[in-house]
């Protein structure tokens, strides 16, 4: 240093010799950039920076000054509210395509996958960046990079979590840097690379960045409490003060003098300690945010020089350097693979991360069969107290078992996926910065979760159904429970993607589980819910969104209808049951209402009476239905059944119609009843033993009592001006109102859509998959996060700030 002259620094000299002559030229210009947060807080004000390749720029500032915000804007993650960032003549925020791959950002947080080794972390990252490189080239590149960063000896160590260390903090940091370095971006942003590191590690990391800059990169580093040696490595220092005010931009060595002079302290022209050549950067901050001392000698909260004042000095005294805008295109190094290849890489990466965690694998594979065994063993109930022989038919726990199976699959589905995206959040952010496909990530994640769930449910069903003696239904149970799990997987992924702490995610699990349980149709019957939700003839609308309800209905119906015993005569019994209902409940009720109407007229009462009109409407409604159901019996006198036309003649005609219907149904009843009798007599006499064995092993009494609603008080109710059958729902074939109607009563034997009827179980499984697809869309478009952001952007009764 020449006394009283401009000092010359090491890097100025070395830089001239080391910078590769052929390294690509870059001009980086930040013009009047300002940034305001969504809530209105100003984050950055009037930032101007002009730099070119080969420089190492430091960014300093008190904590909360806006350094990370600045880095985000400079690297293109956030768009500035004012001004622009121009690289080689291209606007970073509006012409993103031209600048793809030019910028690298190394955030403060770790981007490592803890379950993978040092080598694997870098390897998968490289695969995602270079589609054209062969396997050997990638491996060689990874080895080279590891060699350069001094990590080669550690390449086969698992990264591990920061608490459960296998590699040191400095090595972690270098590996994080390696992730970006491997693709050699021309401009690199690094957020606090040395915080938390020992001084030795810090120096290693900084030397690495220094060398990279010397090789022709432009590097911005946010640096916190640097040592004197590190501080002097920078070519330029950019200092921010609280509120995003720029207060210094220039040579680091001269910064202290600048602030001292302004602070008009003694020795102001000595930047470094005159004896040792050390410069203590901390002194800068002591000056910048020095506090006023009050009359008693105590420090106050008020600053001697406010950020605004430092900023106005900055505007007066600091000259912003200029660069020549480079006209050539910035170098592009990124070459990302196709959607499908990304998907493959993601899947492999996740797969190897998972299987490297033996505990995770064992727990996930053993837990469900263990639970299945415990559950099934506990409820393997023998009704006869004097017997040790288990009879499936008599096990009253079958319906609760089906429901528990659903709860188990919901739970496991949620649990395995609830952490997944959350854990990857930082890595995902970086990968979206690289323009990698979110959908290939999601699809790979979803398929991996589905695979785990499918295995879990297969093991559960295999064990539990075997213990409980549920025969022939392994596949149906598996596919049904897997369907629930898959739904829960996606639900878990949504929670995982939308909330920012693992505790929140787990706290929310009961909130999504309990409605599933309450509205599943097993714990509380649908006709005994709060009046606001029940509907008599259909499953309540909110329950239609619950996979638990669809799968419960599907499995119970299938267990009753398609088991080896009942399936033999289900159709006969169905005919018998509906004919019986018509004869015993439905037609007598119609007749009664009809007579009541006639009494009304005969007594000469008011024909405008509401009940009278309603009753006639009910009869017209039900007659129209019967005309459709039984086309062979004619009835063309609906017009007689209006309040002003109804008379004795109408009564006789209508009564006659009811009688004909009654005959029709009686015939059906007698025929089907006789058929059933024959069937039973034959089986009971010819092969009684087999027949009873089949009944014991396949038919279950408690399932039967549920689907036939044996304990229901009312067989039929009036809803509005229609009659609704409540008894024996399993034998009640739903009647679609419109072509798209798909909702039915609970435990319907078949379902309909667009003119066709389908088996309940398969139809219901399809419905749950459709719900799952809808959830996937929510996940893909991140709708829950958007909804929550929208919710929080509404200013609820904003409090006024307290006056000082």
Residue ranges that bind Mg ion, judged by CB under 5 A? 68
Contact 74, 57 (CB under 8 A): no
Options 11, 28, 43, 314; binder of ligand ADP; rule CB under 6 A: 43
Options 14, 32, 37, 475; binder of ligand ADP; rule CB under 6 A: 37
Contact 287, 260 (CB under 8 A): yes
User: What is the smallest separation between the CB atom of 203 and Mg ion, expressed in angstroms?
Assistant: 21
Options 41, 504, 687, 690; binder of ligand ADP; rule CB under 6 A: 41
User: What is the smallest separation between the CB atom of 314 and Mg ion, expressed in angstroms?
Assistant: 21
Question: Strand pairing partners for 246?
Answer: 240
Contact 707, 746 (CB under 8 A): no
C-beta closer to Mg ion: residue 71 or 87: 71
Partner touching 559 among Mg ion, ligand ADP, none, CB below 5 to 8 Å by kind: none
C-beta closer to ligand ADP: residue 61 or 307: 61
C-beta closer to Mg ion: residue 234 or 746: 234
C-beta closer to ligand ADP: residue 64 or 510: 64
Contact 325, 27 (CB under 8 A): yes
C-beta closer to ligand ADP: residue 36 or 91: 36
User: What is the smallest separation between the CB atom of 778 and ligand ADP, expressed in angstroms?
Assistant: 24
Examine residue 45 and tell whether it contacts ligand ADP (CB under 6 A): no
- Quick one: which of 545, 574, 542, 534 has its CA closest to 557? 574
Q: At a CB cut-off of 8 Å and minimum separation 6, what does 216 contact?
A: 19, 20, 23, 24, 53, 54
**Among 37-45, 292-300, 564-572, 687-695, the segment contacting ligand ADP (CB under 6 A):** 37-45
Size of the site for ligand ADP (CB under 6 A): 12
User: What is the smallest separation between the CB atom of 63 and ligand ADP, expressed in angstroms?
Assistant: 4
Burial letters 177-208, b for 16+ CB under 10 A, else e: bbbbbbbbbbbbbbbbbbeebeeebbbbbbeb
C-beta closer to ligand ADP: residue 49 or 116: 49
Q: Which H or E element spans position 64?
A: none
C-beta closer to Mg ion: residue 68 or 395: 68
User: What is the smallest separation between the CB atom of 781 and ligand ADP, expressed in angstroms?
Assistant: 22
User: What is the smallest separation between the CB atom of 239 and ligand ADP, expressed in angstroms?
Assistant: 11
Compute CA 466 distance to the chain's CA centroid, rounded to the nearest angstrom.
Answer: 34
Binding mask 739-778 for ligand ADP (x = CB under 6 A): ----------------------------------------
Contact 624, 590 (CB under 8 A): no
**Among 35-43, 80-88, 211-219, 345-353, the segment contacting ligand ADP (CB under 6 A):** 35-43
User: What is the smallest separation between the CB atom of 771 and ligand ADP, expressed in angstroms?
Assistant: 34
At residue 37, φ and ψ (nearest 5 deg) are -70, 165
CA–CA gap between residue 309 and residue 320 (Å, rounded):
18
Partner touching 321 among Mg ion, ligand ADP, none, CB below 5 to 8 Å by kind: none
Partner touching 61 among Mg ion, ligand ADP, none, CB below 5 to 8 Å by kind: ligand ADP
Contact 274, 336 (CB under 8 A): no
List strand residue ranges (DSSP E) for 95-201, in order.
Answer: 103-106, 187-191
Contact 655, 669 (CB under 8 A): no
CA–CA gap between residue 784 and residue 52 (Å, rounded):
42
CA–CA gap between residue 240 and residue 57 (Å, rounded):
13
Instruction: Give the single-character DSSP code of 473.
Output: -
Binding mask 56-95 for ligand ADP (x = CB under 6 A): -----x-xxxxxxx--------------------------
User: What is the smallest separation between the CB atom of 742 and Mg ion, expressed in angstroms?
Assistant: 53
C-beta closer to ligand ADP: residue 23 or 785: 785
C-beta closer to Mg ion: residue 62 or 454: 62
Contact 71, 222 (CB under 8 A): yes
C-beta closer to ligand ADP: residue 108 or 673: 108
- Quick one: which of 451, 458, 511 has its CA closest to 481? 458
CA–CA gap between residue 260 and residue 747 (Å, rounded):
84
Assign 185 to helix, strand or coil: coil
- Quick one: which of 468, 441, 244 has its CA closest to 339? 441
User: What is the smallest separation between the CB atom of 733 and ligand ADP, expressed in angstroms?
Assistant: 58
Contact 442, 417 (CB under 8 A): no
- Contacts to ligand ADP from residues 325-384, by CB under 6 A: none
C-beta closer to Mg ion: residue 68 or 760: 68
C-beta closer to Mg ion: residue 190 or 778: 190
**Among 39-47, 166-174, 290-298, 510-518, the segment contacting ligand ADP (CB under 6 A):** 39-47
Q: Which H or E element spans position 407?
A: helix 398-417
Partner touching 37 among Mg ion, ligand ADP, none, CB below 5 to 8 Å by kind: ligand ADP
User: What is the smallest separation between the CB atom of 222 and Mg ion, expressed in angstroms?
Assistant: 7
Partner touching 606 among Mg ion, ligand ADP, none, CB below 5 to 8 Å by kind: none
User: What is the smallest separation between the CB atom of 222 and ligand ADP, expressed in angstroms?
Assistant: 7
CA–CA gap between residue 406 and residue 479 (Å, rounded):
12
Q: Note every long-range contact of 352-361, with CB atoms under 8 Å and residues 24 or more positions apart, other chains counting.
A: 352/115, 352/116, 352/120, 353/113, 353/115, 353/116, 354/115, 354/448, 356/115, 356/116, 356/158, 357/115
Contact 481, 460 (CB under 8 A): yes
Partner touching 64 among Mg ion, ligand ADP, none, CB below 5 to 8 Å by kind: ligand ADP
C-beta closer to Mg ion: residue 68 or 700: 68
User: What is the smallest separation between the CB atom of 541 and ligand ADP, expressed in angstroms?
Assistant: 39
CA torsion angle for 7, 11, 13, 16 (degrees, to 10)?
-140
CA–CA gap between residue 188 and residue 213 (Å, rounded):
9
Question: Strand pairing partners for 218?
Answer: 187
Compute CA 221 distance to the chain's CA centroid, rounded to the nearest angstrom.
Answer: 34
Partner touching 101 among ligand ADP, Mg ion, none, CB below 5 to 8 Å by kind: none
Q: Residue 188 to residues 55, 57, 105, 294, 332: CA-CA distances in angstroms?
A: 11, 10, 6, 45, 13
**Among 38-46, 263-271, 399-407, 706-714, the segment contacting ligand ADP (CB under 6 A):** 38-46
User: What is the smallest separation between the CB atom of 785 and ligand ADP, expressed in angstroms?
Assistant: 14
User: What is the smallest separation between the CB atom of 193 and ligand ADP, expressed in angstroms?
Assistant: 13
At residue 236, φ and ψ (nearest 5 deg) are -140, 155
C-beta closer to ligand ADP: residue 245 or 560: 245
C-beta closer to Mg ion: residue 68 or 125: 68
Instruction: Give the single-character DSSP code of 318.
Output: P
User: What is the smallest separation between the CB atom of 64 and ligand ADP, expressed in angstroms?
Assistant: 4
Partner touching 58 among ligand ADP, Mg ion, none, CB below 5 to 8 Å by kind: none
Partner touching 147 among ligand ADP, Mg ion, none, CB below 5 to 8 Å by kind: none
C-beta closer to Mg ion: residue 68 or 347: 68
Angle between helices 398-417 and 502-518 (to 10 degrees): 160
Judging by beta carbons within 10 Å of its beta carbon (0-12, 13-18, 19+), is residue 691 exposed, middle or buried? Answer: middle
C-beta closer to ligand ADP: residue 249 or 698: 249
User: What is the smallest separation between the CB atom of 745 and Mg ion, expressed in angstroms?
Assistant: 59
Instruction: Give the single-character DSSP code of 799.
Output: P
Options 2, 21, 39, 738; binder of ligand ADP; rule CB under 6 A: 39
Query: Degrees (nearest 5) of the Cα angle 669, 671, 676?
Result: 95
User: What is the smallest separation between the CB atom of 91 and ligand ADP, expressed in angstroms?
Assistant: 22
At residue 39, φ and ψ (nearest 5 deg) are -80, 5
Q: Which residues bind ligand ADP (CB under 6 A)?
A: 37, 39, 41, 43, 61, 63-69
């Amino acid at each position: 240093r020449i006394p009283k002259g401009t000092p010359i620094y090491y890097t100025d000299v070395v830089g001239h010799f080391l910078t590769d002559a052929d390294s690509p030229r870059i001009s980086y210009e930040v013009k009047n950039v300002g940034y305001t947060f969504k809530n209105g807080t100003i984050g950055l004000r009037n930032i101007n920076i002009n730099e070119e390749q080969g420089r190492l720029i430091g960014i300093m500032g008190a904590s909360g000054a806006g350094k990370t915000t600045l880095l985000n804007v400079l690297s293109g993650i956030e768009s500035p509210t004012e001004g622009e960032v121009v690289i080689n003549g291209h606007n970073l925020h509006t012409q993103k395509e031209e600048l793809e791959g030019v910028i690298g950002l190394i955030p403060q947080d770790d981007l490592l996958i803890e379950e993978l080794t040092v080598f694997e972390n870098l390897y998968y990252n490289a695969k995602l960046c270079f589609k054209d490189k062969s396997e050997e080239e990638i491996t060689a590149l990874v080895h080279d990079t590891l060699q350069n960063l001094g990590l080669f000896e550690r390449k086969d160590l698992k990264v591990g979590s920061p608490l459960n260390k296998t590699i040191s903090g400095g090595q972690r940091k270098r590996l994080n840097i390696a992730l970006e370095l491997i693709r050699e971006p021309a401009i690199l942003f690094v957020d606090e690379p040395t915080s938390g590191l020992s001084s030795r590690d810090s120096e290693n990391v900084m030397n690495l960045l220094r060398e990279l800059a010397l090789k022709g990169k432009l590097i911005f580093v946010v640096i916190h409490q640097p040592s004197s040696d590190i501080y002097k490595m920078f070519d330029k220092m950019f200092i921010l003060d609280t509120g995003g005010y720029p207060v210094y931009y220039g040579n680091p060595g001269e910064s202290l003098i600048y602030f001292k002079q302004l602070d008009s302290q003694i020795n102001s022209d000595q930047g470094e300690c005159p004896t040792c050549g050390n410069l203590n950067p901390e002194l800068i901050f002591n000056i910048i945010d020095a506090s006023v001392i009050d009359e008693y000698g105590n420090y106050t909260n008020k600053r001697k020089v406010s950020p605004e004042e430092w900023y106005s000095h900055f505007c007066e005294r600091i000259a912003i350097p200029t660069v020549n805008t480079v006209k050539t295109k910035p170098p592009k190094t990124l070459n990302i693979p196709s959607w499908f290849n990304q998907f493959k890489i993601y899947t492999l990466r996740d797969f190897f991360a998972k299987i490297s965690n033996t505990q995770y694998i064992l727990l996930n594979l053993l837990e469900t069969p263990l639970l299945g065994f415990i559950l099934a063993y506990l409820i393997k109930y023998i009704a006869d107290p004097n017997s040790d022989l288990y009879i499936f038919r008599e096990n009253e726990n079958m319906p609760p078992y089906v429901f528990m199976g659903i709860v188990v699959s919901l739970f496991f589905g949620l649990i395995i996926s609830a952490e997944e995206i959350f854990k990857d959040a930082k890595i995902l952010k970086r990968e979206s910065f690289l323009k990698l496909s979110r959908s290939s990530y999601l699809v790979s994640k979803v398929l991996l979760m589905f695979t785990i769930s499918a295995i879990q449910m297969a093991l559960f069903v295999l064990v539990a159904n075997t213990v409980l003696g549920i025969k022939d239904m392994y596949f149906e149970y598996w596919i049904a429970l897997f369907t629930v799990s898959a739904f829960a997987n996606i639900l878990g992924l949504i929670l995982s993607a939308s909330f920012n702490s693992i505790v929140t995610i787990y706290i929310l699990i009961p909130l999504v589980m309990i409605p599933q349980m309450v509205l599943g149709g097993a714990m509380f019957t649908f006709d005994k819910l709060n009046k606001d939700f029940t509907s008599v003839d259909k499953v309540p609308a909110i329950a239609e969104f619950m996979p638990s309800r669809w799968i419960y209905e599907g499995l119970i119906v299938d267990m009753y209808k398609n088991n080896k015993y009942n399936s033999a005569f289900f159709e006969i019994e169905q005919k018998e049951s509906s004919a019986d209902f018509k004869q015993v409940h439905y037609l007598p009720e119609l007749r009664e209402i009809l007579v009541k109407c006639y009494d009304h007229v005969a007594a000469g009462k008011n024909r405008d009476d509401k009940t009278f009109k309603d009753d006639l409407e009910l009869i017209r409604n039900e007659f129209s239905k019967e005309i459709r159901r039984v086309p062979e019996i004619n009835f063309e006198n609906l017009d007689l059944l209006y309040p002003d036309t109804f008379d004795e003649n109408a009564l006789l005609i209508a009564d006659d119609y009811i009688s004909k219907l009654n005959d029709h149904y009686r015939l059906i009843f007698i025929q089907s009843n006789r058929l059933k009798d024959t069937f039973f007599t034959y089986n009971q006499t010819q092969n009684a033993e087999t027949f009873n064995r089949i009944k014991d092993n396949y038919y279950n009494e408690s399932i039967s009592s549920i689907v036939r609603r044996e304990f229901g008080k009312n067989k039929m109710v009036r809803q509005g001006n229609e009659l609704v059958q409540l008894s024996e729902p399993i034998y009640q074939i739903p009647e679609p109102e419109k072509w798209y109607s798909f909702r039915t009563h609970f435990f319907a034997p078949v379902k309909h859509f667009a003119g066709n009827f389908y088996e309940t179980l398969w139809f219901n499984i399809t419905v749950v998959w459709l719900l799952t697809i809808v959830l996937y869309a929510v996940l893909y478009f991140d709708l829950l996060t958007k909804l929550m952001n929208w919710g929080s952007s509404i200013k609820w009764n904003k409090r006024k700030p307290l006056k000082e």
